[in-house]
C-alpha cells in the first residue's frame, strides 16, 4: 500500500512542516486596533523566532494619508507596547524595512489596480513569487466592497507558481442566513481551499494540545467516554465589561459573540472522534460531526437547558462598576445577554448521557478559559465507609491565561490518621518547556502562509454552529422576559447554579 504521508505533502496539518515560502501579507484596515495590537506584533515575534519566511512583504492598506516611514514608526511604537518579546533594534529595523503603506479607500478601484502593480513589482524585486495573503482586519460590513474589488482587479487570481489566500476575521455572520450570504460572498472571490476563517482561541497552544492529550495518551483516551466521564464543563469568564464596544455588543450579545464560535470550537475539540489523519480536512470533518450530533435546543427545552443573564452593578477587585444598562451606548431597557449557561447533549455512541455545560460571562471575578472533564467517582466503599469524603477526579485543560493541564486526584494526608485529601498534578507550558508560549495570532498567521487550514473554521462548521445557535436565539426573542440579572463580581445568576444542580453537579470554582 502507498504511504499516505506521501500522497499530498502540503496536507500536513498539525504535523511538522517546512517554513513557509516568501510571500506578501496585505492587511486591509492597517491603521486599526487589530493590526497594531495583534497582527504586526505577531509577525515581528515570528521574525525574532526565525520562523517568518524571508523575504516577506507586509503591505498595509488604508485610506489615511501617510507614507511608509510614518506607518513604520507607528507600528514600531505599537510593537514595543504589545509584543510578547522585547524589541531588538536590529531585528525591528530588518523587519520594518519590509513594511510598506498603500493608501486607498476600500471602494476605490484604482487603489486596487495600483496595489496589484505594487505587488507585482515586489515579486520581481524581492522574489516573493506571486504568493499573496490578504487579511481582512475590518468590520464585516466592509467585506463585500473589498472582496469585489480584489476580484475585479485580478488579485484573487494567483500568478503562475503563486497563490492568493484570504483571512476573514469573526464574526462570520450574525445568524445562519447572514453566514451563508457571507460564505457565498467570499466564495465568489476565493475558493474554500484558500479561505481562512480565523478564531484566535484555536491558535492557543493548549487548544492545539487537546488532541495530543487525548489521542497520544492511552490513560486518557481509554477513559474518554460516557462509561467513565460524568460531565464536562467549558468556561470562559472575564472581569471586563463592554469596554467601549456597546455598539457591537448590543447587536451581538454573549451567545453570538462567544458561544457560537469560541466555546463550540472547544466543545468540538473535546468531543470529536479520532480523525483519519492530521490533515486539515480530516480534523475538521470530525468537528462537524460533533456539531451535527448536538441535540437541538428549541422551544420549551431552551427554558430548561439555557440561561441568559445580564450584569448589574457590583464590584470588580474592590472597585465599583456600573450595570450593563448604565454603560455608555447601551439602551436603558436592553435585553442583551452578557452571560450564557447551557446544558448540551451530544447524541452519539461515545457521549450518550453525558451533559456538557457551557458558560460564558462578562464582569465575572476573574479572567479564565478552561475545559474541566469530571470523571465518575469510585465505588462508595472502603474510604466512604471509613467516613472519608472522596472528591471525583477532574482533568482541567487551561486555555488562558496560564496555559496548561492539571489533574485532581486523591491522596492520604501525612500522619497516623486516615485522612484523604484532594491533590493536584499540574503542568504549565511556560515552566515545563522553558520558553514563552507563542501568541495565537503567531501560529495562525504562520499556518495561513503555509496553506495549513487545520486551525481555521470551514464553511460547514460555521453554518452548523449557527444552525444550532439560531434556535436558541429564536426562543429567547419570543420570551423577552426570561433575562436574569447578576451582580458584577459574582459568578453569575442563581438560575445557572440551578441548571447544573438539576444534573447533580455544581460549577467548578476557577
At 276, list the grid cell: 483519519
CB 486 within 8 A of CB 493: yes
Prior bond to 171 cis, omega within 30? yes
DSSP state of 35: I
Q: How far apart are CA 352 and CA 376, in angstroms?
A: 14
Cell 492530521 locates to 278
| 263-to-234, 360, 371, 439 alpha-carbon distances in Å | 7, 8, 10, 19
Q: Which of 108, 114, 116, 161 is closest to 134 using CA atoms?
A: 116
Q: Which residues make Cβ contacts (< 8 Å) with residue 256, sequence separation at least 6?
A: 171, 174, 469, 473
Phi-psi domain of 173 (left: phi exceeds 0; alpha: psi -120 through 50; beta: other): left
Q: How far apart are CA 202 and CA 454, in angstroms?
A: 9
Length of the chain: 510
Prior bond to 420 cis, omega within 30? no
- Nearest 5°: the CA angle 360, 361, 362 is 150
Q: Which of 68, 72, 153 is closest to 117 using CA atoms?
A: 153
Cell 506607518 locates to 71
User: DSSP characters for 71-136?
Assistant: HHHHHHHHHHHH-SSPPPHHHHHHHHTTEEEEE--TT-HHHHHHHHHHHHHHHHHH--TTEEEEEE
Q: How far apart are CA 372 and CA 509, in angstroms?
A: 11
Cell 457571507 locates to 182
Catalytic residue set: 262
Q: Which element (helix H / strand E) includes 217?
A: none
Amino acid at each position: 500500500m502507498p504511504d499516505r504521508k506521501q500522497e499530498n505533502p502540503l496536507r500536513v496539518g498539525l504535523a511538522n512542516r517546512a517554513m513557509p515560502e516568501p510571500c506578501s501579507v496585505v492587511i486591509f484596515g492597517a491603521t486599526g486596533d487589530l493590526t497594531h495590537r495583534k497582527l504586526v506584533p505577531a509577525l515581528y515575534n515570528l521574525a525574532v523566532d526565525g520562523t517568518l519566511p524571508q523575504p516577506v512583504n507586509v503591505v498595509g492598506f488604508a485610506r489615511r494619508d501617510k507614507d511608509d516611514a510614518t506607518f513604520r514608526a507607528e507600528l514600531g511604537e505599537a510593537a514595543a507596547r504589545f509584543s510578547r518579546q522585547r524589541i531588538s533594534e536590529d531585528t525591528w529595523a530588518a523587519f520594518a524595512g519590509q513594511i510598506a503603506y498603500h493608501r486607498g479607500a476600500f471602494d476605490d478601484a484604482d487603489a486596487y489596480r495600483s496595489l496589484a502593480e505594487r505587488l507585482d513589482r515586489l515579486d520581481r524585486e524581492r522574489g516573493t513569487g506571486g504568493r499573496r495573503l490578504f487579511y481582512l482586519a475590518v468590520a464585516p460590513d466592509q467585506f463585500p466592497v473589498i472582496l469585489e474589488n480584489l476580484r475585479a482587479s485580478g488579485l484573487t487570481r494567483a500568478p503562475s507558481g503563486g497563490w492568493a489566500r484570504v483571512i476573514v476575521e469573526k464574526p462570520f455572520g450574525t445568524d445562519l442566513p447572514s453566514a451563508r450570504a457571507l460564505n457565498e460572498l467570499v466564495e465568489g472571490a476565493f475558493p474554500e481551499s484558500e479561505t481562512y476563517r480565523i478564531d484566535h482561541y484555536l491558535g492557543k497552544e493548549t487548544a492545539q494540545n487537546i488532541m495530543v492529550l487525548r489521542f497520544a495518551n492511552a490513560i486518557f483516551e481509554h477513559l474518554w467516554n460516557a462509561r467513565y466521564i460524568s460531565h464536562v464543563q467549558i468556561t470562559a469568564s472575564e472581569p471586563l465589561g463592554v469596554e467601549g464596544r456597546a455598539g457591537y455588543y448590543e447587536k451581538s450579545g454573549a451567545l453570538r459573540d462567544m458561544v457560537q464560535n469560541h466555546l463550540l470550537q472547544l466543545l468540538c475539540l473535546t468531543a470529536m472522534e479520532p480523525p483519519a489523519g492530521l490533515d486539515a480536512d480530516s480534523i475538521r470533518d470530525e468537528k462537524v460531526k460533533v456539531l451535527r450530533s448536538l441535540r437541538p435546543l428549541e422551544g420549551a427545552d431552551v427554558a430548561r437547558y439555557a440561561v441568559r443573564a445580564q450584569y448589574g452593578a457590583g464590584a470588580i477587585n474592590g472597585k465599583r462598576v456600573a450595570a450593563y444598562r448604565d454603560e455608555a451606548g447601551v439602551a436603558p431597557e436592553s435585553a442583551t445577554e452578557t452571560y450564557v449557561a447551557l446544558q448540551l447533549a451530544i447524541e452519539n455512541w461515545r457521549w450518550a448521557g453525558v451533559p456538557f455545560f457551557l458558560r460564558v460571562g462578562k464582569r465575572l471575578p476573574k479572567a479564565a478559559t478552561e475545559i474541566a472533564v469530571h470523571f465518575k467517582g469510585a465505588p462508595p466503599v472502603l474510604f466512604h465507609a471509613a467516613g472519608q469524603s472522596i472528591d471525583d477526579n477532574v482533568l482541567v485543560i487551561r486555555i488562558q491565561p496560564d496555559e496548561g493541564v492539571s489533574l485532581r486526584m486523591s491522596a492520604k494526608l501525612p500522619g497516623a490518621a486516615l485522612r484523604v485529601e484532594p491533590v493536584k498534578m499540574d503542568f504549565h507550558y511556560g515552566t515545563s518547556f522553558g520558553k514563552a508560549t507563542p501568541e495565537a495570532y503567531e501560529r495562525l498567521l504562520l499556518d495561513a502562509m503555509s496553506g495549513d487550514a487545520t486551525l481555521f473554521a470551514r464553511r460547514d462548521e460555521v453554518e452548523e454552529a449557527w444552525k444550532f445557535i439560531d434556535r436558541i436565539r429564536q426562543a429567547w426573542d419570543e420570551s423577552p422576559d426570561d433575562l436574569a440579572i447578576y451582580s458584577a463580581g459574582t459568578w453569575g445568576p442563581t438560575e445557572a447554579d440551578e441548571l447544573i444542580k438539576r444534573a447533580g453537579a455544581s460549577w467548578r470554582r476557577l
